[in-house]
Amino acid sequence: MFVIGGIQKTTLLDFPGKIAAIVFTQGCNFRCGYCHNPDLLEIKQICDPDLVSTSFSKEKLLSFLQSRIGKLDGVVITGGEPTLQSGLYDFIKEIKKMNFAVKLDTNGTNPSIIEKLLNDNLLDYIAMDIKSPVDKYSLITNSKVNIDNIKRSITLIINSNINYEFRTTVVKNQLSFDDFNKIGELIQGAKCYYLQKFNSLNVYNPEFINMDTYNDNEFLFICEILKKYVKFVDFR
Ligand code: SF4
């Protein structure tokens, strides 16, 4: 199974240093209130007309990527949650054969597939969401969360030899300054962490439309907290 929710044919922003296409997989096991891709959460075949002009089967997508060899450097696989797709491994293998660099975005709930992909050198960059400190994970994701899996994914990524980032979407009333100390402890020793300003456009839970994020000065303060634990910290 590899259910594609949509594609973006080019991005200069989502894969550091690379011109890439983005593949959005369909389905997620979390229900974060601030999610910007609410149409991608249910497992069903859809196509977002804003993202694609026609429906994309896996075969059609592979043939599109084939046509982009020499024009694109890489492919970003995001969601939804890509690691829910049983066909993810084979799909990545096929695009690696075309010599594309691969970036995987994940919520870290499936460490086994992350481990397999890392062991087989099939990833060039991995971005993992850190939703919150451990004690708030279920609240923020509105889901039952196996924290051992989250911790295992963090360890695998920190110990990998590829470029990576951890990142947290920050809604002001969900995460206190002290929570960032706890997040720092969770990813202690990591090399790269981004705080992401929450944006209230197109959110999964309409209650979030009126919610806010911290201001720039507050973000600078939070960055200082995180720098005790992580080599590079920034906000965007
Ligand atoms: S923000 Fe990410 S992990 Fe959360 S519901 Fe949306 S796609 Fe899933």
CATH of the domain at 60: 3.20.20.70
User: Which pLDDT does position 76 carry in this prediction?
Assistant: 98
Q: Which atom of ligand 1 is nearest to the CA of 37?
A: 6
Q: Hey, which residues does 137 pair with through a beta bridge?
A: none
Contact 107, 142 (CB under 8 A): no
145 lines ligand 1 (CB under 6 A): no
Ligand 1 pocket, mutate which of 81, 143, 166, 199 (most atoms under 8 A from CB): 81
- The parts of the chain modelled with pLDDT lower than 70 are 44-56
User: Which pLDDT does position 55 carry in this prediction?
Assistant: 54
User: Which pLDDT does position 50 carry in this prediction?
Assistant: 44
What is the per-residue DSSP string for 101-157? EEEEEE-S--HHHHHHHHHTT--SEEEEE--S-GGGHHHHHTS---HHHHHHHHHHH
Q: Atom 6, ligand 1: which residue's CA is nearest?
A: 35
Q: Write the CA distances from 113 to 31, 92, 128, 138, 147, integer angstroms.
A: 21, 12, 13, 22, 16
C-alpha to C-alpha distance for 31 and 22, rounded to whole angstroms = 21
Residues contacting residue 204 through CB under 8 Å, at least 6 positions apart:
31, 32, 33, 34, 35, 38, 41
Identify the helix (H) or strand (E) that includes residue 4.
Answer: strand 4-11
Q: Which residue has the tokens 């705080």?
A: 195
Q: Is 43 helix (H, G, I), strand (E, B) or coil?
A: coil
7 lines ligand 1 (CB under 6 A): no
What are 29-76's pLDDT values in tens digits? Answer: 999 999 999 999 997 654 444 444 445 688 999 999 999 999 999 999
> Is the link from the previous residue into 80 a cis peptide, with omega within 30 of 0?
yes
In angstroms, what is the span from residue 53 Cα to ligand 1's centroid? Answer: 24
User: Which pLDDT does position 44 carry in this prediction?
Assistant: 65
In angstroms, what is the span from residue 25 Cα to ligand 1's centroid? Answer: 11
Residues spanned by the domain of 172: 4-235
User: Which pLDDT does position 49 carry in this prediction?
Assistant: 43
User: Which pLDDT does position 52 carry in this prediction?
Assistant: 42
The candidate with the shortest Cα–Cα distance to 110, out of 27, 21, 37, 33, is: 27
What DSSP designation does 73 have? -
Residue 62, token pair as written in the block: 């592979």
Reported residue count of the chain is: 236
Residue 32, token pair as written in the block: 């974060």
41 lines ligand 1 (CB under 6 A): yes
The candidate with the shortest Cα–Cα distance to 190, out of 153, 222, 136, 147, is: 153
Based on the structure, what is the number of domains in the chain? 1
User: Which pLDDT does position 43 carry in this prediction?
Assistant: 79
Ligand 1 pocket, mutate which of 3, 36, 41, 43 (most atoms under 8 A from CB): 41
